Amino acid sequence: MSKSKKMNRRKFLKSGVLAGAVTAMPYFVPSGVLGASGKAGANDRIRIAGIGVGRQGGALIRAFQHFDDAEVVAVADVDMVRAEQVAKWTDSKPYQDYRRVLDREDVDAIVTATPDHWRALVCIHACQAGKDIYAEKPMTLTIAEGRQMVKAVRKYDRVFQTGSQQRSLAANHRGCELIRNGRIGKVKKVIAHNYPSPWIYDMSGQEVPEHMDWDNWCGPVGMVPYHKHLETPRAKPGWISFRRFSGGEMTGWGSHGFDQIQWALGMDNSGPIEVWTEGPEFEPPTYTEPEGRGRGEKVCSKPKVYMRYPGDIEMELGDAPPGGGVFIGEEGTITIGRGSLKSDPPELAKEPLEDKDVSLYKSHNHYKNWLNCIKERKKPVADVEIGHRSATVCHLANLGRELGRRLRWDPEKEEFIGDSEANKHLDRERRKGYQLPNKL
């Protein structure tokens, strides 16, 4: 890369990447990743930065430290104390502003586990800065931002792995492969877990800790009062339960379960065509004080959600393992959980596959798969399109509950058919200064 292009990139990041008026960045492959042949040599190390290094983000950083071909060189978190702690045990440099990480020439890739409302902006900016990405699930807060993330990854030729790690578990791979190859006959019905939708946040505020950039934590959704039980993902009840910041467990655990259903049905580039509900109206509670998730999750698990896939396959949210599903076919049933596989009759799960059968993408380790794909410039097992499509199913389920009417969905155009009001819910307004880039 020429000196002028490097200077342009630096100027871009330092001149206000959060302003939304983002110009296209030149594509480049980080010099430390590629060997002389265009692929990583045996001794090359991928230099990683963590963005959002709390509970899950910190765990991911620890995981990548175990690989000889990966090196953690920087971490960023709005909680500076947390950033400094993680930086200390990774022997890396801490930052409070993730833009400073993206500006570093020695960062090849990022691992990000921010709250859901920050995921899209961080990932799109990382693409524009020429970084490969491992992003936790759910990949998005809205359907529209997922498509923008896919466009950014493709434009800048980035390697993007969604943290849907069940795609790299042997039992899950086996179960989905059996279903795809007709071992239970034609699939008639799928039962997914009944994940609860999110509810409303209106808790009184606490004093913001000095080491916390709370304004930046709120970011795209706008300012709300600080509370320690909002800042964490699953506390009393934590941000993952509130609609403003997340899709609730419908996107939290649902992004795992629906991902398995998408994979088993061959819908990685598509999705359901209809969503509806049966039961009482959706009436999410408002939490004004710290409280466990029990009450909210009980209320927000109603009404029951149904979807229809092409081929007249009905999906019902009911009694199924979290993170998996029950697949009922004309010749048997397969149940997939996290790392588990059962069949009825039992011998179905033991049937060998033949050479002529469909062979699904096989990954033995979700993290290593991403590192290998960075070196080879290939798509990983949970590519950005896959993450977007699986998250879309979660969002459709939430919108079905919220809107309370039968909705027809066009998975190709990614819009509701004949329902302009429903299409207004495909995205959300963002706070000024935190909009998605106008130009990719």
pLDDT digits (tens, 9 = 90+) for 110-150: 999 999 999 999 999 999 999 999 999 999 999 999 999 99
Task: Evaluate whether residue 375 is within a structural domain.
Answer: no
334 to 116, 321, 404: CA distances (angstroms): 32, 12, 31
What are residue 287's DSSP bridge partners? 201
- Is pLDDT at 90 greater than 70 in this prediction? yes
Task: Evaluate whether residue 373 is within a structural domain.
Answer: no
User: Which residues lie closer than 8 Å to 181 by C-beta, 6 or more apart?
Assistant: 353, 357, 358
pLDDT digits (tens, 9 = 90+) for 3-15: 433 433 444 444 3
- Is pLDDT at 22 greater than 70 in this prediction? no
Min mean pLDDT across 12-21, 59-68, 76-85, 360-369 is at 12-21
Task: Evaluate whether residue 376 is within a structural domain.
Answer: no
Task: Evaluate whether residue 368 is within a structural domain.
Answer: no
Residues 160 and 186 in one domain: no
If you search the block for the tokens 């059968």, which residue do you land on? 357
Cα–chain-centroid distance for residue 301?
Answer: 22
Residues 149 and 175 in one domain: no
Residues 242 and 93 in one domain: no
Q: At what angle do helices 170-180 and 254-265 cross, to 10 degrees?
A: 40
CATH number at residue 290: 3.30.360.10
Residues 149 and 179 in one domain: no
Q: Which two tokens stand for residue 211?
A: 């080491």
Q: What pLDDT score does 438 carry?
A: 87
- Is pLDDT at 29 greater than 90 in this prediction? no
pLDDT digits (tens, 9 = 90+) for 341-368: 999 999 999 989 999 999 999 999 999 9
The model's confidence at residue 44, banded by pLDDT at 50, 70 and 90, is confident
Q: Are 204 and 248 in contact (CB under 8 A)?
A: no
Q: What pLDDT score does 148 carry?
A: 98
Report the DSSP pairing between strands 46-51 and 109-112.
parallel
Task: Evaluate whether residue 371 is within a structural domain.
Answer: no
Q: Which two tokens stand for residue 216?
A: 């930046």
Q: Using the 3D structure, point to which of 122, 139, 166 is the last residue of a domain.
A: 166
Residues 161 and 296 in one domain: no
Residues 295 and 316 in one domain: yes
The model's confidence at residue 38, banded by pLDDT at 50, 70 and 90, is very low
Task: Evaluate whether residue 283 is within a structural domain.
Answer: yes
Q: Which two tokens stand for residue 400?
A: 């079905």
Residues 151 and 188 in one domain: no
414 to 36, 60, 296, 411: CA distances (angstroms): 42, 32, 30, 5
Give me the percent of the chain exceeding a pLDDT of 70. Answer: 90
Give the strand order in the sheet containing 70-76.
Answer: 93-95, 70-76, 46-51, 109-112, 132-135, 160-162
Task: Evaluate whether residue 379 is within a structural domain.
Answer: no
- Is pLDDT at 175 greater than 90 in this prediction? yes
Residues 86 and 215 in one domain: no
Residues 55 and 175 in one domain: no
CATH number at residue 76: 3.40.50.720
Cα–chain-centroid distance for residue 99?
Answer: 21
What is the number of residues in the chain?
Answer: 440
- Is pLDDT at 426 greater than 70 in this prediction? yes
Residues 160 and 267 in one domain: no
Q: Using the 3D structure, point to which of 136, 166, 196 is the last residue of a domain.
A: 166
Amino acid at residue number 401: R
Task: Evaluate whether residue 440 is within a structural domain.
Answer: no
Q: What is the mean pLDDT of the chain?
A: 91
What are residue 111's DSSP bridge partners? 50, 134
Residues of the domain holding 16:
3-166
Q: Is the model more confident about 42 or about 53?
A: 53
Residues 100 and 220 in one domain: no
pLDDT digits (tens, 9 = 90+) for 308-335: 999 999 999 999 999 999 999 999 999 9
User: Can you spell out the DSSP letters for 129-157?
Assistant: TT-EEEEPSS--SSHHHHHHHHHHHHHTT
When divided into structural domains, the chain yields a total of: 2
Q: What pLDDT score does 30 carry?
A: 37
Q: Which of 141, 145, 162 is nearest to 383 (CA)?
A: 162
Rounded to whole angstroms, how far apart are CA atoms 190 and 274? 14
Average pLDDT of the residues in 176-180: 98
Q: What pLDDT score does 83 carry?
A: 98
Rounded to whole angstroms, how far apart are CA atoms 398 and 96? 33
The model's confidence at residue 26, banded by pLDDT at 50, 70 and 90, is very low
Q: Which two tokens stand for residue 39?
A: 């692929």
Q: Using the 3D structure, point to which of 118, 150, 166 is the last residue of a domain.
A: 166
Residues 106 and 232 in one domain: no
* pTM for this predicted structure: 0.91
- Is pLDDT at 34 greater than 60 in this prediction? no
Q: Is the model more confident about 422 or about 34?
A: 422
